[in-house]
Amino acid sequence: MSSTTSKAFDAAKSSSQQAKSTLKTVAEERSTTTSAFLHHPYTRSALPFINGGLAGMTATTVIQPIDMIKVRLQLAGEGAKSSARPSPLQVTRDIVAQGKVADLYTGLSAGLLRQAVYTTARLGFFDTFMNAQKVNAEAKGVQIGFKERAGAGLAAGGLAAMVGNPADLALIRMQSDGLKPLAQRANYSSVVDALSRIAKAEGVMALWAGAMPTVARAMALNFGQLAFFSEAKNQLKSQRQLSAQTQTMMASAVAGFFASFFSLPFDFVKTRLQKQQKALDGSLPYKGMADCFRKVARDEGILRFYRGFGTYYVRIAPHAMVTLIVADWLGFVTK
């Protein structure tokens, strides 16, 4: 009996060891397969774009209510120099009073589509441009400077903005719809609904309304965000007492401020141009970016371009921080 029990125990132990060995082999094979996939040339080329898109969509989900308030602040008192200046708290109360707290997330589908297109492209292009410059710099035995980072940021922002303009326009239309009288509201059900109805009513090219200030804003924002983030992070590397996470947080906070400062006037004009629609006589309030800058400066004052800077910074800085931190983390996980 004891011999039978001993044999059964040995057989069970042997089976357990074989199972562990098999699981270990499977895990190693899976790890090898995953590593091979992540290091395939096509995957390495696509990862900066994929990581950028995921990072931007994560940040937008967190920041969307602040973006909604920012847009409403920019559209308040349009065309009047001495109009009452609402506070972010007043705007929030008005939005909630008209419906429900979920209304702060109006246009989220458009915001996510915009990030899937725009941030995927801008971070992907920026990383691609920077990697190419690193290879070139190493071949010449020199270091990449702020000028190269700024150039990569400007180019990436401009290219991505042109691709993402339709989603950006749909977002503005959805967020500003609640400012209209009930009878005039479009009540878009989703970003797809907004894009299709705008294209049908105003023409496909209407989806690129405000493209010039959108590109200018993106270039200014990327110059402030990506170039200053990359530069600040490079400068902070010498501060060995700071952890990598702290350096990333500090660099992204610096990047958020400069991104806000350089891009807000263009963001203001972009919002006005993308919100406008033709009157019954076919005319538009603004003929273009330069006309909008001129009329706002004349009728509402120069400082109107920086209305809501605090809200804009609170929207841009955390968005930049979440985007850059998530992109950094994804880059580390997939390297």
CA angle at residue 129 from 128 to 131, to 5 degrees? 65
Tens digits of per-residue pLDDT, 117-159?
A: 888 888 788 888 988 888 888 888 888 888 888 888 888 888 9
Neighbours of 43 (CB within 10 A): 13
* pLDDT confidence band for 31 (50 / 70 / 90): low
* pLDDT confidence band for 29 (50 / 70 / 90): low
* Confidence (pLDDT) at 105: 86
**Average pLDDT of the segment spanning 27-54:** 68
* Confidence (pLDDT) at 37: 58
The residue among 147, 156, 157, 314 whose CA lies nearest residue 231 is 147
* pLDDT confidence band for 26 (50 / 70 / 90): very low
The residue among 143, 302, 328 whose CA lies nearest residue 226 is 328
Distance CA 195, CA 169 (A): 9
The residue among 36, 34, 107 whose CA lies nearest residue 67 is 107
Q: Is the pTM of this model over 0.85?
A: no
